[in-house]
A and B are shown apart, each in its own frame.
Chain A
Amino acid sequence: MFLAWNEIKQNKLRFILISSVLLLIAYLVFFLSGLVNGLANMNREAVDKWQADAIILTDESDKSLPQSILSTDDVSQVKNANHLAPIAQINAIASRVSDEDTRQGVAIFAVQPDDFIAPNITDGHMFGRKGDVVAADYLKSEGFKVGDKVKLSSSDKYVTIVGFTDHARFNAAPVLYTSFETMQQIKGLPIESDPLVNAVVVQSENISTIKVPTSLEVVETETFIEKLPGYAAQNITLTLMIAFLIVISSVIIAIFLYVLTVQKASMFGVLKAQGISNAYLARSVVAQTFILTVVGVALGFALTWLTGAFLPYKVPVQFDILSMLIYALIFIIVAILGAVFSVLSIFKIDPLKAIGG
């Protein structure tokens, strides 16, 4: 630590530059991880909020909600689940009647207002009358308000926003929650007919004990999300980018440290000639790497946080402290592994050559 710290103090500019490079790489990694998180949430936050263990869909739907159509008879045959909540879903384009230009893709969910998947109300009240909807509060920033009459692309009927809920996006679209009655109306079906259900959302301690008719399939929530269009591809791509970034930056860090160490070879040789052990010098190099990366990563963290505070709401970046900490840790470990290469080069220095006897 003594050698490491004194060298940093004495060569401030050089070490500020190195730490800055680490800072920028860490910043990029953190930002990308925020993007992964944000984009994932756009797809899944409504589902996450249900806190469901599984979703029951028809076998032939290939885990796609709109492709799955269940009869009331099917639903009544599901056994051994703690909580069941039927759900119907369609996608539509919503626009305010007062301002037809405010077009916005939405996912409409029909749920029963007393089921566990019913939306919590952050503003206004729960849907009650025919035509009432509870909207995701993201729509507020698009100008939608409680009391707005909304036209839906798939229907000639209007719906009215009576309340808002938070964290309600599904497959990148804000959600409108409504009753099955209103859903029948939106679909242009007679209200008296049996409502169509796309799936049954389930809470259950042990989903393997759930009994369903053979035409149905119990899908774990995580599997269901993975199957959302584009979700897995997007996640894999971005995560690969982060992995590459970490690999590339670790190579850069390792090269940096190696060059720094090689530059000091004669000094290390002289110290070795005086009998200072390899272990002491190795600890010094590792300590220095640790100081540089921790400073760089911490500043990267702070800068990411600062950026997050100023990002426009539309940017799908959401920082998750836990994943950021994990990346920070990986980053520091990788840098220290890089330092080990330099340490090996110290071991190879012949003190006799260094003293030029």
Chain B
Amino acid sequence: MMPTLQFIDASKTFGDGHNTIKALKPTTFSANEGELIAIIGPSGSGKSTFLTIAGGLQTASEGDVLINGRSLKNMREKELAQVRLQDIGFILQASNLVPFLTVDKQFSLLDRVKQHNMSPEERTHLFQTLGIEHLLQQLPNDLSGGERQRVAIAKALYTKPAILLADEPTASLDSDRAFEVMSLLQKQTKLQNNTTIVVTHDTRLIPYFDKVFKMTDGVLKQEN
């Protein structure tokens, strides 16, 4: 079975000349279908750098990253965007909602740019699990922080991505909701057989994950 995501000696260096930061040391990593993976580590250790490289938002300085076996190394921005649209789902720290679209229309937009999203039944079920089915006619501004985050999670799951990347998805949720969201991510990962990688600070969530990695100064190491 081919890994969905592979890092092959991939590293990231910022800056030029003598003033460089090696945010990600040469890393080899692979993740398979149906895996729910946690990345923990102190702030500034390189977790977001790892996640954005995995999602094709930036490319590795050295080494290569493969998504479903395809190398991202020499892709142009247009091809990377296509990979992000087709294969990746992001749950971002910042809300990824369009300010002038109602919750319902956030999903219509996705239907316009990408095919093979969730069926109406799957969608209804997703909305119920996340508790957002009563928010469909609201604008992002009318939602609370937690509601926005749940809609953002629904958006990321809606396109059924092969790789779901979440950067602190539960940061703005109370702990009951946080546990609910984690069990939803767990369920979706098994149901859709995708790869989900979650960056988190919250060690109480660790039991939900299949694998836990720790990032320290740009070095990624498996914990268990």
By a CB distance below 8 angstroms, the chain A residues around B85 are: 274-277
B70 to chain A, nearest CB (A): 14
B167 to A357, Cβ gap below 8 A? yes
Q: Which of A11, A271, A276, A352 contacts B52 (CB 8 A)?
A: A352
Tally of A interface residues using CB under 8 Å:
24
Q: Which of A11, A274, A278 contacts B96 (CB 8 A)?
A: A274
Q: Is A10 an interface residue, CB under 8 A from the partner?
A: yes
Residue of A nearest to B56 (CB): A275
Q: In the complex, which range does the number of interface residues on chain B fall in? A: 20 to 34
The residues in A between 313 and 357 inclusive whose CB is less than 8 angstroms from any CB of B are 351-352, 354-357
A12 to chain B, nearest CB (A): 11
A273 to B90, Cβ gap below 8 A? yes
Complex CA gap A274/B110 in Å reads 10
Residue of A nearest to B97 (CB): A270
Interface centre among B52, B83, B88, B96 (most CB of A within 10 A): B96
Complex CA gap A266/B92 in Å reads 13
Q: Is A194 an interface residue, CB under 8 A from the partner?
A: no
A352 to B57, Cβ gap below 8 A? yes
Given contacts A275-B83, A275-B85, A357-B167, contact A7 B100 (CB under 8 A): yes
Q: Which of B83, B84, B109 contacts A273 (CB 8 A)?
A: B84
Complex CA gap A276/B77 in Å reads 11
Q: Is A6 an interface residue, CB under 8 A from the partner?
A: yes
Given contacts A278-B78, A356-B94, 14 further A-B contacts (CB under 8 A): A2-B112, A6-B101, A267-B98, A267-B99, A270-B94, A273-B84, A273-B92, A275-B113, A277-B85, A352-B58, A355-B57, A355-B92, A356-B92, A357-B57
A222 to chain B, nearest CB (A): 53
Q: Is B105 an interface residue, CB under 8 A from the partner?
A: yes
By a CB distance below 8 angstroms, the chain B residues around A273 are: 55, 57, 84, 90, 92, 96
By a CB distance below 8 angstroms, the chain A residues around B82 are: 275, 277
Q: Is B61 an interface residue, CB under 8 A from the partner?
A: no
By a CB distance below 8 angstroms, the chain B residues around A277 are: 78, 81-82, 85, 113
The residues in B between 105 and 130 inclusive whose CB is less than 8 angstroms from any CB of A are 105, 108-109, 112-114
11 A-B pairs with CB atoms under 8 Å apart are A2-B108, A2-B112, A10-B139, A270-B94, A274-B84, A275-B83, A275-B88, A276-B113, A355-B52, A356-B94, A357-B51
Q: Is B48 an interface residue, CB under 8 A from the partner?
A: yes
Complex CA gap A280/B114 in Å reads 12
Residue of B nearest to A356 (CB): B94
A357 to B98, Cβ gap below 8 A? no
Residue of A nearest to B139 (CB): A10
Q: Is B86 an interface residue, CB under 8 A from the partner?
A: yes
A6 to chain B, nearest CB (A): 6
B23 to chain A, nearest CB (A): 11
Q: Is B13 an interface residue, CB under 8 A from the partner?
A: no
Residue of B nearest to A280 (CB): B113
Q: Is B138 an interface residue, CB under 8 A from the partner?
A: no
The residues in B between 172 and 203 inclusive whose CB is less than 8 angstroms from any CB of A are none
The residues in B between 43 and 57 inclusive whose CB is less than 8 angstroms from any CB of A are 48-49, 51-52, 55, 57
By a CB distance below 8 angstroms, the chain B residues around A357 are: 48-49, 51-52, 57, 92-93, 167
Q: Mark A9-22, 1 if CB is under 8 A from B, else 0.
A: 01100000000000
Q: Which of B48, B49, B57, B112 contacts A351 (CB 8 A)?
A: B57
Complex CA gap A266/B96 in Å reads 9
Q: Mark A235-279, 1 if CB is under 8 A from B, else 0.
A: 000000000000000000000000000000011001111111110
Complex CA gap A273/B92 in Å reads 10
A270 to B96, Cβ gap below 8 A? yes
Residue of A nearest to B49 (CB): A357
B88 to A355, Cβ gap below 8 A? no
Given contacts A2-B108, A357-B48, A357-B92, contact A275 B99 (CB under 8 A): no
Complex CA gap A277/B57 in Å reads 13
Residue of B nearest to A7 (CB): B100
The residues in A between 254 and 312 inclusive whose CB is less than 8 angstroms from any CB of B are 266-267, 270-278, 280
B86 to A275, Cβ gap below 8 A? yes
The residues in B between 14 and 28 inclusive whose CB is less than 8 angstroms from any CB of A are none
Complex CA gap A3/B100 in Å reads 9
A11 to B100, Cβ gap below 8 A? yes
Residue of A nearest to B80 (CB): A275
A292 to chain B, nearest CB (A): 15
